[in-house]
Chain A
């Protein structure tokens, strides 16, 4: 299966702490994206990182990509209760435009 694996499956932290979640994938990619989903609703796009990029920032988000290890990480700094959600990575295979989602990390930020 092409599906990415994310870890941890679940993460519980205190408000103000940083949260790190990891994504590993199996095939060559054009880019990798991170999405957030609040309690069974639609997904919200957070950030896209291209295969020739190593790091990208957006506000409190920092994404890294290591294509040699086929892995990516999402860091959320100074977390807030509103960051409580499930986070998914999504990868596309080189030569297709079909995105496959990882298994997801459920983040809970305690106030």
Chain B
């Protein structure tokens, strides 16, 4: 099973709402990633979890709050978002997140988020 699943597929939320994006993998990967992608742009790294610990935060605003409850699950909690946060949010996983590892990232299909 080389699948990363993400829910929901689409999400519309107001600027005062609180919502969560979910990501799951059952490949035994110990590194999980959140990316943000705007239309016609490359994915931009937001967070990296390695062995359930946050190892990289790319100076993401605090209105985005990641959580890794266990090695298979990754959440992204959203609160008080702005319209410019509308984007495709991609989750990925890889075997392990250690330095100088040569690894393939497996991506989920993404959640398309619209903030009104």
Instruction: Say which residue of B39, B45, B90 sits within 8 Å of A42 (CB atoms).
Output: B90
* B interface size (C-beta, 8 A): 30
Report the number of A-B residue pairs with Cβ-Cβ less than 8 Å. 64
Decide yes or no whether B56 CB sits under 8 A from chain A.
yes
Question: CB within 8 Å of B: which of A2-46?
Answer: 3, 30-31, 33, 35, 40-45
Query: Complex Cα distance A16/B64, Å?
Result: 45
B39, B92, B104: most-surrounded residue (chain A CB, <10 A): B104
A30-B100, A40-B112, A95-B100 known; A45+B106 contact, CB < 8 A: yes
User: What's the least CB distance linking B9 to chain A, in Å?
Assistant: 10
Instruction: Say which residue of B39, B56, B99, B105 sits within 8 Å of A40 (CB atoms).
Output: B39
Question: CB within 8 Å of A: which of B82-101?
Answer: 88, 90, 92, 97-101
Residue in chain A with minimal CB distance to B4:
A42
Q: B residues within 8 Å of A by Cβ?
A: 4, 31, 37, 39-45, 48, 56, 88, 90, 92, 97-110, 112
Q: A residues within 8 Å of B by Cβ?
A: 3, 30-31, 33, 35, 40-45, 48, 50, 88, 90, 94-104, 106
Further 5 A-B residue pairs, CB within 8 A, beyond A40-B37, A43-B90: A43-B105, A44-B107, A98-B56, A99-B105, A104-B40
Q: List 26 A-B contacts (CB under 8 A).
A: A3-B42, A33-B104, A40-B39, A40-B88, A40-B110, A41-B109, A41-B110, A42-B90, A42-B110, A43-B43, A43-B92, A43-B105, A43-B107, A50-B102, A90-B105, A96-B99, A97-B31, A97-B98, A97-B99, A97-B101, A98-B56, A99-B45, A99-B105, A100-B45, A101-B42, A104-B41
